[in-house]
Amino acid sequence: MDRKFKWLEDRTTTPDGVYRVLRAAILDGTVPPGGQLREAHIAADLGISRSPLREALTKLEEEGLIVKIPYRGAFVAEVSAQDVAEIDSIRLLVEPYAAELAFEALRGSERSRLLQTTEDLRAALEKNNIPASVDAHLGFHRLFYDLSGNGALRNLWHGWETKLRLYLSVDHQTYSDPRDLAVEHERLAAVALEGSIDEFREELAAHFQTGLSGKAEVHPRQA
């Protein structure tokens, strides 16, 4: 069944406005992994021509959120629990190192940035705003890599981020109490700001436990 697409704000028929509508629909699960984005239906729902829609789809493809299949159309990219478990097994090795390199900045001039990500995450989860909660979740972890001062670490993170974004858009909805996710990140932040690197590694391992066990179901494949 095709979903109904609606403007998130005042109607803006620019490619960027259409991109924001489609991106939100992907990240809040309106169109699930493997789901098709049908140009005719989207254009009709939003009352737009195909030109800004195709530009928006191209931007989503460049971001890695959709894949285009010749003669079939555009589909939301798929990420499995196994994909994320493999990423997390590497993150468990390198993210504590990134955090250790970032500790000086985080415990000094950048302290407020880390705390702001946890506040943003809690606020988004309480409002059940999945795209905003995913943004805050990723922003929290990205900060360690960005503040590490290590280009190789930053490149690793940016190579993972799109897959993590797609997976988290579904994973955030599986928490029986979304505030649990906020609490996990508040604990991580407290250790990053006051604790040792060994304590950070232990807390991160607990945070990754579900992903590393492959407990979550693999997302359905495209028909």
More confident residue, 168 or 113: 113
Nearest Cα to 97, choosing from 145, 159, 151, 141? 145
Strand arrangement, sheet containing 73-76: 36-37, 73-76, 66-69
Residue whose structure tokens are 């994973």 = 171
What pLDDT band is residue 9 in, cutting at 50, 70 and 90?
Answer: low
Q: What is the mean pLDDT of residues 21-35?
A: 87
> Helix-strand-coil percent breakdown of the chain, rounded to 5?
70, 5, 30
Which domains are delineated in the chain?
Answer: 15-76 (1.10.10.10), 81-214 (1.20.120.530)
- Name residue 168's amino acid: L
Q: What is the pLDDT of residues 32-83, one digit of tens each?
A: 889 999 999 999 988 888 999 999 999 999 988 999 999 999 999 998 888 8
pLDDT-based confidence at residue 7 (cuts at 50, 70, 90): confident
Read off the pLDDT of each residue in 162-174 and give the average, rounded to a whole number.
Answer: 85
Q: Specify the pLDDT at position 146.
A: 97
Stretch 79-101: mean pLDDT, rounded? 93
Helices 130-146, 15-27: crossing angle, 10 deg rounding: 90
Q: 221 pLDDT band (50/70/90 cuts)?
A: very low
Output the CA torsion sign for 125, 128, 130, 132: negative
Kindly state the average pLDDT of the residues 112-132: 94
User: What's this model's pTM, rounded to 2 decimal places?
Assistant: 0.77
